[in-house]
A and B are shown apart, each in its own frame.
Chain A
Amino acid sequence: MAANYEYDEAAGHYDDQAAALRQQEVGYDPNFVPDSVKSFVVHLYRHIREKNVYEIHQMYETSFQTLSERLFKDTPWPSVDAVAHYVDNDHVFCLLYREMWFRHLYARLSPTLKQRIDSWDNYCSLFQVVLHGVVNMQLPNQWLWDMVDEFVYQFQSFCQYRAKMKNKTEQEIALLRQFDQAWNVYGVLNFLQALVEKSAIIQILEQEKQGLEQFTATDGYDYSGGSNVLKVLGYFSMIGLLRVHCLLGDYHAGLKCLQPIDISQQGVYTSVIGSHIATIYHYGFASLMLRRYVDGIREFNKILLYIYKTKQYHQKSPQYEQILKKNEQMYALLAICLSFCPQMKLVDEAVNAQLREKYGEKMGKLQRYDDEAYGDKLSRRQRYADEAFGIYDELFSYACPKFITPSAPSFDEPLVNYNQDAYRLQLKLFLSEVRQQELLVGARTFLKVYSTISLGKLANYLDVDESTLRMTLMTYKHKTHAVDSDGKIISNADVDFYIDDDMIRVVNSKPVKRFGDFFLRQIVKLEGVINDMDRIKVESAN
């Protein structure tokens, strides 16, 4: 495995006992409520009741972070029981507070097994309340996205934790056996599916296209006095489902879950930077694994350009680091896609420049083929191929999601760590595709240079026999003609050819100059200038 593949969370490690000890050490008193926290919860509660979405957003985004930084750097917030009486013991507010409490815990500290299970219970209660459709609050989209995102993240984290069986104590194993429903994969998927179904978000999006509903136009908020919580949670759950399916390796189902959202346009998913990036990252990764390289390149290009232009505005936000990390990962995925499908014209100038800076050298090595006639060609080619193989391994391991094994371990068998199994499988299958694509590097190099060449001659250059060459050329055609989502065949080859008995004729695809757009722009501009001139004449005539 690549050395830079970090499978453990940055915040800590999975040793349950050490986590519990650490929390005790720092002298945490769950019942002590500082004044600033008291005023925080009182104000937040009031704003939620009064539906001041803007104020809620400010408190959630800024005040919570500031207080965490100042007072709760390495301890949890006060327990919900301690703050409950400041907010009339309101059940739903307590659920929301607990959700934030656990999120803070996961971010700053290491949760114990008991805490993980309690967090699961909290999510169950919260989603149950929402699913019964009786919450009448309006919450900012950022918060609702964070809820879904955190839900999936904690599920992923739990699966990782559970899979590390080697050092588990008797106590932990007993707890795992007892609470076998906590973070059960069926539970997680069914909750997300239930949110999608109950909110009828798919029908809403359909009706919006016909102009019968307002959803995207209001950014999901309900200006007629209702609540946006169920609808927006349903919307974000579609992205949550895409993410879970990618973690399980089912890319086809993931893309299907995302289908109701039209990612070629703005939507509620772009209203929160975190959800925008998560959507496109997983869409692009799924496209890569489904061999739809053009789709992946197109979407990565758009989002990387967007991040490039807007990242300075997010420098103060708590998600800045995460944005940067995903940015780097998506450049790596883009590099892989472009190596399989060299279509540079799909990539914007600015993105291309960044890509060259980060991965220019590596991408060069991936396409390197030795056509020099001196020395031991075959072993040199083998060396280049092995080097390229290593680079693909490195890029994939860096950029892939943290795959999980959804099934519970058998507690009776000897305890082994199997948290890497899912990742190993996906990597292995990806690399077998790489092996097949490697056969094409030589052919591609020569086809770029010749316009006509006989099979025999090309076979000679590549040091293979003619029947192997025929196989290679058929592989090239098969790999560059992908089956898209509608089942049609589309060609994504940069260099194309056809064979006439035993002659290969290479097709010169000249880059097409796009005149249509140019003329349209100029027409609109000219019209604008004429209008301006007309106005001046009229004014001066008066």
Chain B
Amino acid sequence: MQVRGGGIYVFLYSILTPLVDCYPKGLNPQQSGRCFFSVAALQGSPRSVPPVRYIGRVLRRNRIRPKMGMEKEPQKPQQVSYTVEQLVAVNPYNPDILPDLENYVNEQVASQTYSLDANLCLLRLYQFEPERLSTQIVARILVKALMAMPAPDFSLCLFLIPERVQMEQPFKTLIVLSHYLETGGFRQFWDEAAKSRHIVEAVPGFEQAIQAYAVHVLSLTYQKVPRSVLAEAINIEGLALDKFLEQQVVNYGWVIEMGQGGGQIIALPKTEFNHPELKKNSGDAVPLDHITRIFPILS
């Protein structure tokens, strides 16, 4: 038998005491100082819990959130993004935040920012309530995900979108575009994107993001890449390409040489991926916590 005094809770254990005193009728006045809940006490509180049945409806009607008793008030417009990130982190399984998340997608498009967590949260809510799905918003999310390549965000989004939705436009086109990007088919990609301007140009920054991805893949693969291959990958030709190359030479250390066939060869910056000798050989590195085993011996 133990009595722990002090603090908010005082638990009195006794052989005769039931585990928790929570009969509808039962507040035993003799067992004072013991922490229990009774339906009576609960019904007095603002977050009153109705009878146990249909807790789901209770959760929705009373908006019982994980932090019991904490209301999320709608914030002023300029604070929306901060609040949305908070919502997604703390209270993501709540159908009420759906409009906030939709607004946040539009904000990401307008301000050229990106939040995978918020977008996945929205797609999840669409999955729970398919009748609220907005094709336009989903298309925007997918375009944003394409721009995040090489991260696999596009696939992550597709996992949450029902098959029959994926078979409609513009999703069919977006999936084709993604396939081309995943398999290095840049020429086909730019051709297809040109045919679907209305989809991709709705999101500012799309072209630059894809060009950055193309340069990334080229940098992984080539030490020296022919000008024609580069041009095809980033969809820039002629004078515009010369200007682009100038910028890259100045900012990123690209070097333009003359190739054997007379065309230009661009030497890309050295990284561990296209220059294996630069790869840090971590195979033989011994982690510090292993060395601590022999500290007693060394001392």
Partner of B152, one of A136, A187, A291: A291
Per-residue interface assignment for chain B, residues 1 to 39, with 1 indicating a CB less than 8 Å from any chain A CB and 0 otherwise: 010100000010101011110110000000000011100
Whether B162 lies near A425 (C-beta < 8 A) is yes
Whether B183 lies near A475 (C-beta < 8 A) is yes
Q: Which residue of B lies closest to A501 (CB)?
A: B224
A373 proximal to B (CB < 8 A): no
Alpha-carbon gap, A225 to B124, bound state (A): 41
Whether A428 lies near B163 (C-beta < 8 A) is yes
B156 proximal to A (CB < 8 A): yes
Smallest beta-carbon distance A135→chain B, Å:
6
Whether B93 lies near A424 (C-beta < 8 A) is no
Dominant SS at the A interface? Answer: helix
B60 proximal to A (CB < 8 A): yes
Smallest beta-carbon distance A325→chain B, Å:
24
Per-residue interface assignment for chain A, residues 256 to 285, with 1 indicating a CB less than 8 Å from any chain B CB and 0 otherwise: 100000000000000000000000000000
Q: Which residue of B lies closest to A183 (CB)?
A: B56
**Chain A contacts with B in 191-241, Cβ cutoff 8 A:** 193-194, 196-198, 225-226
Partner of A425, one of B37, B156, B159, B294: B159
**Chain B contacts with A in 83-141, Cβ cutoff 8 A:** 92-95, 116-117, 120-121, 123-124, 127-130
Q: Which residue of B lies closest to A51 (CB)?
A: B13
Whether A421 lies near B273 (C-beta < 8 A) is no
Smallest beta-carbon distance A151→chain B, Å:
13
A242 proximal to B (CB < 8 A): no
Alpha-carbon gap, A474 to B67, bound state (A): 48
B222 proximal to A (CB < 8 A): yes
Q: Which of B72-80, B236-244, B278-286 contacts A (4 or more CB under 8 A)?
A: B278-286
Whether A498 lies near B221 (C-beta < 8 A) is yes
CB-CB under 8 A for A187 and B185, given A128-B49, A487-B151: no
Residues of B within 8 Å of A187, CB to CB, are: 55-56, 59
Residues of A within 8 Å of B225, CB to CB, are: 499, 501
Partner of A407, one of B67, B128, B160: B128
Whether A477 lies near B52 (C-beta < 8 A) is no
Whether A290 lies near B19 (C-beta < 8 A) is no
Residues of A within 8 Å of B290, CB to CB, are: 516-517, 520
CB-CB under 8 A for A136 and B13, given A251-B156, A516-B284: yes
Alpha-carbon gap, A485 to B184, bound state (A): 23
Size class of A's contact patch? 35 or more
A90 proximal to B (CB < 8 A): yes
Alpha-carbon gap, A439 to B36, bound state (A): 65
Alpha-carbon gap, A49 to B2, bound state (A): 13
A331 proximal to B (CB < 8 A): no
Residues of B within 8 Å of A256, CB to CB, are: 117
Partner of B22, one of A91, A121, A487: A91
Q: Which residue of A lies closest to B219 (CB)?
A: A477
Question: How many B residues face the partner with a CB closer than 8 A?
Answer: 85
Whether A121 lies near B283 (C-beta < 8 A) is no
Partner of A523, one of B20, B92, B163, B297: B297
**Chain A contacts with B in 165-197, Cβ cutoff 8 A:** 179-187, 189-190, 193-194, 196-197
Per-residue interface assignment for chain B, residues 210 to 227, with 1 indicating a CB less than 8 Å from any chain A CB and 0 otherwise: 000000011011111110
CB-CB under 8 A for A182 and B93, given A197-B67, A517-B290, A527-B297: no
Alpha-carbon gap, A491 to B67, bound state (A): 42
Smallest beta-carbon distance B155→chain A, Å:
7
Whether A471 lies near B184 (C-beta < 8 A) is yes
Q: Which residue of A lies closest to B64 (CB)?
A: A190
**Chain A contacts with B in 485-519, Cβ cutoff 8 A:** 487, 489, 491, 496, 498-502, 507, 509, 512-517
Alpha-carbon gap, A196 to B90, bound state (A): 11
Residues of A within 8 Å of B172, CB to CB, are: none
A20 proximal to B (CB < 8 A): no
Alpha-carbon gap, A180 to B129, bound state (A): 13
Residues of B within 8 Å of A196, CB to CB, are: 66
A305 proximal to B (CB < 8 A): no
Whether B283 lies near A512 (C-beta < 8 A) is yes
Residues of B within 8 Å of A421, CB to CB, are: 162-163
Smallest beta-carbon distance B213→chain A, Å:
9
Whether B291 lies near A520 (C-beta < 8 A) is yes
A129 proximal to B (CB < 8 A): yes
Residues of A within 8 Å of B120, CB to CB, are: 250, 252-253
Alpha-carbon gap, A89 to B222, bound state (A): 76
A2 proximal to B (CB < 8 A): no
Smallest beta-carbon distance B298→chain A, Å:
9
Partner of A135, one of B20, B117, B124, B127: B20
**Chain A contacts with B in 131-177, Cβ cutoff 8 A:** 131-132, 134-137
Residues of B within 8 Å of A496, CB to CB, are: 276
Per-residue interface assignment for chain B, residues 154 to 188, with 1 indicating a CB less than 8 Å from any chain A CB and 0 otherwise: 01101110110000000000000001001111010
Q: Which residue of B lies closest to A519 (CB)?
A: B286
B198 proximal to A (CB < 8 A): no
Alpha-carbon gap, A272 to B2, bound state (A): 29
Partner of A253, one of B124, B182, B220: B124
Alpha-carbon gap, A500 to B298, bound state (A): 49
Q: Which residue of A lies closest to B182 (CB)?
A: A436
Residues of B within 8 Å of A128, CB to CB, are: 49, 52, 55
Whether B11 lies near A225 (C-beta < 8 A) is yes
Alpha-carbon gap, A204 to B40, bound state (A): 32
Smallest beta-carbon distance B279→chain A, Å:
8
A451 proximal to B (CB < 8 A): no
A92 proximal to B (CB < 8 A): yes
A68 proximal to B (CB < 8 A): no
Alpha-carbon gap, A513 to B294, bound state (A): 21
Whether A48 lies near B183 (C-beta < 8 A) is no
CB-CB under 8 A for A516 and B229, given A190-B64, A425-B162, A474-B221: no
Whether A50 lies near B220 (C-beta < 8 A) is no
The interface centre, meaning the residue of A137, A187, A475 with most chain B CB atoms within 10 A of its CB, is A187
Partner of B284, one of A137, A181, A470, A512: A512
B143 proximal to A (CB < 8 A): no
A38 proximal to B (CB < 8 A): no
The interface centre, meaning the residue of B52, B53, B65, B221 with most chain A CB atoms within 10 A of its CB, is B221
Residues of A within 8 Å of B22, CB to CB, are: 91-92, 129, 134
Alpha-carbon gap, A206 to B86, bound state (A): 20
Whether A471 lies near B183 (C-beta < 8 A) is yes
Alpha-carbon gap, A147 to B54, bound state (A): 20
Whether A50 lies near B297 (C-beta < 8 A) is no
Q: Which residue of B lies closest to A527 (CB)?
A: B297
Per-residue interface assignment for chain B, residues 250 to 287, with 1 indicating a CB less than 8 Å from any chain A CB and 0 otherwise: 00000000011000010000000111100001011110
Whether B155 lies near A514 (C-beta < 8 A) is no
Between-chain CB contacts (< 8 Å), 28 pairs: A50-B15, A90-B18, A92-B18, A93-B18, A121-B55, A129-B22, A181-B55, A182-B54, A225-B13, A248-B124, A248-B127, A250-B160, A253-B92, A253-B117, A291-B152, A406-B128, A425-B159, A429-B158, A498-B222, A498-B274, A498-B276, A501-B226, A501-B259, A512-B281, A514-B284, A515-B284, A516-B286, A520-B290
**Can you name 17 extra interface pairs (CB under 8 A) apart from A49-B17, A186-B128?**
A91-B18, A128-B49, A181-B54, A182-B54, A187-B59, A249-B127, A407-B127, A407-B130, A425-B162, A425-B163, A467-B187, A470-B229, A471-B184, A472-B184, A479-B182, A489-B150, A502-B226
